[in-house]
Amino acid sequence: MTSRRYLLLMAAALAELAVLPLFLLAVLLNFGLGMIFLLAPSVLGVRRLAQAARRRTSQWSGVELAAPYHPEPTPPVPDYDGWYRMDRTLYKTPRMPAWNMRWKWLVNDVASWRDALWLVSDPFVTFALLIPPAVAIAYGISAPWWLHPWSAPLGLAVAVVSALTIPRAIDLHGRWTRVLLSATRRSQLEVRVRSLSRARVSAVDSQAAELRRIERDLHDGAQARLVAMGMTLGAAEELIDRDPQAAKVLLAKARDASATALAELRRLVRGIHPPVLAERGLADAVRALALDTPLDVTVTIDLPERLNQPVESAAYFAVAELLANATKHGGARNVTIDITRNGTALRITVTDDGSGGADPDKGSGLRGIERRIAAFDGVLAVSSPAGGPTMLVIDLPYAFGTQEDDKPSMPKWKVMVVVFCWATAWLPLFPQGIVAAVFKIIKVRGDDGELVRSWLLALYLPEAWQWPFIAMMIPLGLCLYILATVLPVWHSKKRWIGEATARQPWLRR
């Protein structure tokens, strides 16, 4: 497995190294000579390489790397006169506006330039991390054949230690990829804003549809009965002197019509916001709903406190819709409702023994539930195989507020690693690496004609071991500097994402 990953990373680095000159040439021709038609294909090609790196890192590390790109622009829509407008320019066909929008989408996205930075640096980082262990393994295995037999144990030890460092080098490369290619705080916030915008539009549409339903019910129900009751009272008024007995009959009919209209108004008001929900809260409202259902319902509720009124309303009507689906579509006889708190989340689980086959794409009210809870970041999970049972789980992640731990401090072991790396990285990189290589190349000699070795350890080793030692010191120093930079950035990145996802606009009331 390790060897396969090693070969894949090396092959990917070679592919990136082959693509890099073409990308740089496209950028140069775009900004230097104005050949802007070359930039979009090159940026999209780099994105494909970056997406492959994200998928590879996600599979190996188990941490999902979401793409940080802005959403692709929607196709241009013509105005009322049939022309397509792009800024202050009008076009007869949508080809040029679509091309301009796509070009700006690629160039103005910060993630495109982060991909370019990754393409430029990743091959060299990969080679710096993976080539030294392979060279050390080959050197350790071949040392007894061309040095001296006594070096066999030392060469074997070097090969074993180098082989053990390869998985660590691959893991460090994955961390490097996650830092450079994962979603930034800004992209996370933009995705969050787009999600809230869609949820807001859906909530507005749902509210408008609810108002239309209420208007239709009032017009077709209570209003029609009140009009009929008024006509009946008018007829009774005309008959009260001539035929008192007939007037009494009409008054009795008017009284029955008023009772029916009042019952319809009560049902309509209960459908808007049940009084038990406003007075007693979600727990008692769900219990009352279970009593009115012709099914055998078992309710388990563990809520330490009441929720905000909008959250309670969304949860109540979601449960009501699920019970109605179990009755109408599932043919269930027994239903279990479990409502609990899970940290800051409200979790509602509804299980029935019906025929199953519930699918949001087929309607049955599940899409309406998703739209209703989307305004609160709610998620609906459905498990309904054919033949049943059906289990539906609603999760409202911020129903009870947010976590207060906004700025968790870095663990002490990470702090110690960062301090150690910054304190020691210069030693293998410069004195024992770069400076030693310079001294060996130019062969600096003192006044007595002897080679100047100073405190350069490589120059005290046998001639055959000097260059391999220098070749190992330089990547070691680079890796220490990269590790000292990556750990704080990665820790801050997780904190930023936590802050971005923890603060919800609908909780600020």
**The whole model's pTM is what?**
0.46
Q: What is the mean pLDDT of residues 380-398?
A: 82
Q: Give 447's contacts (C-beta < 8 A, 6+ positions apart).
A: none
Q: Of 102-106, 361-365, 369-373, 487-491, which range is least confident? A: 361-365
User: Which spans in 393-462 are helix H?
Assistant: 412-424, 426-429, 436-442
Does position 509 have pLDDT exceeding 50, yes or no?
A: no
Per the structure block, which two tokens stand in for 137? 């393994």
Supply the pLDDT for residue 415.
83
As a whole number, the mean pLDDT across the chain is 77
Query: 122 with 53: CB under 8 angstroms?
Result: yes
Supply the pLDDT for residue 149.
61
Segment 299-343, tens digit of pLDDT: 888 888 887 877 888 888 888 888 887 777 767 788 888 888 887
Q: Of 73-77, 296-300, 471-475, which range is least confident? A: 73-77
Question: Around Cβ 233, how many Cβ atoms within 10 Å?
Answer: 16
Q: 275-284, long-range: CB within 8 Å, 24+ apart, which pairs? A: 277/312, 277/313, 277/316, 278/309, 281/306, 281/307, 281/312, 282/306, 282/307, 282/312, 282/315, 282/316, 282/339, 283/339
Strands (E), 353-476: 379-383, 390-396
Residue 507's pLDDT band, with cuts at 50, 70 and 90, is: very low
Supply the pLDDT for residue 121.
86
Q: What is the percent of the chain with per-residue pLDDT over 70, rounded to a whole number?
A: 79
Following DSSP, what letter does each residue of 3-34 receive, concatenated? HHHHHHHHHHHHHHHHHHHHHHHHHHHHHHH-
Segment 109-141, tens digit of pLDDT: 778 888 888 888 888 888 888 888 888 887 777
In order of start, what are the domains of the chain with their CATH numbers? 2-70+109-183 (no CATH), 198-272 (1.20.5), 279-396 (3.30.565.10), 412-507 (no CATH)
Segment 235-261, tens digit of pLDDT: 887 777 777 888 888 888 888 878 777
Segment 374-388, tens digit of pLDDT: 777 788 888 888 777
Q: Is 161 helix (H, G, I), strand (E, B) or coil?
A: helix
Does position 393 have pLDDT exceeding 50, yes or no?
A: yes
Does position 34 have pLDDT exceeding 60, yes or no?
A: no
Residue 267's pLDDT band, with cuts at 50, 70 and 90, is: low
Supply the pLDDT for residue 502.
44
Residue 287's pLDDT band, with cuts at 50, 70 and 90, is: confident
Q: Is 263 helix (H, G, I), strand (E, B) or coil?
A: helix
Per the structure block, which two tokens stand in for 140? 């350790």
Q: What is the mean pLDDT of residues 432-446?
A: 80
Cα–Cα–Cα angle for 120, 126, 132, rounded to 5 degrees:
135
Q: Of 184 and 16, which is predicted with more confidence?
A: 16
DSSP state of 445: B
DSSP state of 450: P
Q: Give 357's contacts (C-beta < 8 A, 6+ positions apart).
A: 384, 385, 386
Does position 210 have pLDDT exceeding 70, yes or no?
A: no
Q: Of 222 and 378, which is predicted with more confidence?
A: 378
Does position 470 have pLDDT exceeding 70, yes or no?
A: yes
Does position 416 have pLDDT exceeding 50, yes or no?
A: yes
